[in-house]
Amino acid sequence: MAKAEGQVYDEELDPEHEARRRLALAQIRQYPDVALKMKARPVERFDDDLRSLVDRMKLLMRDARGIGLAATQVGVVQRVFVFTPSKDEVAAIVNPEIVERSEETDIVEEGCLSIQGILVPVERPLRVTIAGRDENGDEVRFELDDIFGRAAQHEADHLDGLLIIDRTTPEARREAMSLLRPRIVLT
């Protein structure tokens, strides 16, 4: 089964990359951070601030070995995420809208960079078309399937404050919450 966003592959990292991954993860908001539950606001200005946010998010996503990262995960409550529309490609999408969804769905164990160590089954459409703008304000449109379509839907959810534990089965949610509860006490 493919795994989205978080634990992409069970890869062994060398010490330098592992250190970089840990540094990146330390900069990503972790459940139950309040930013993760917020509905992000539309971006109105396509300026240098936006472009430097996108650059920073792309680096964080790469170092964290993720395949998607939403602005809310770095505490910025704006509608923008970075993702991998295909292998070896990285893009940003601003004010994204999912404009088409396949009726066909599948269920995949999904992880999240903001809920480390948790994988839960999430049902999503197999294929989506997502439209929005890039960081320069130009219109973009992606037709996505497989793990790439799933990651884009996962990131779009983040912009509405929705997490994998909100999308999974009641049983898997209960199990995940029991694993997460000790962390809540500690933070």
Return residues touching Zn ion (CB under 5 A).
5, 112
Give the nearest residue (CB) to Zn ion: 112
Tell me whether residue 155 is one of the annotated catalytic residues: yes
SS3 state of residue 129: strand
43 Cβ contact partners less than 8 Å away, ≥ 6 residues apart: 50, 78, 79, 80, 94, 95
Token pair belonging to 27:
């900069």
Cα angle 49, 25, 8; round to 5: 105
Least Cβ distance, residue 71 to Zn ion (angstroms) = 12
We find the least distance from the C-beta atom of residue 62 to Zn ion, in angstroms, to be: 16
* Euclidean distance between CA atoms 65 and 59, whole angstroms: 10
Question: Which pair of tokens denotes residue 177?
Answer: 């919450």
Could you tell me the smallest distance in angstroms from the CB atom of residue 151 to Zn ion?
Answer: 9
Active-site residue identified among 5, 104, 155, 171: 155
Nearest to 70 by CA among 120, 119, 4: 4
Edge-to-edge strands, sheet with 91-101: 68-70, 80-83, 91-101, 127-133, 139-145
Q: Give me the least distance between CB of 155 and Zn ion, in Å please.
A: 7
C-alpha–C-alpha distance, residues 61 and 20, integer Å: 11
For the annotated catalytic residues, the residue numbers are 155
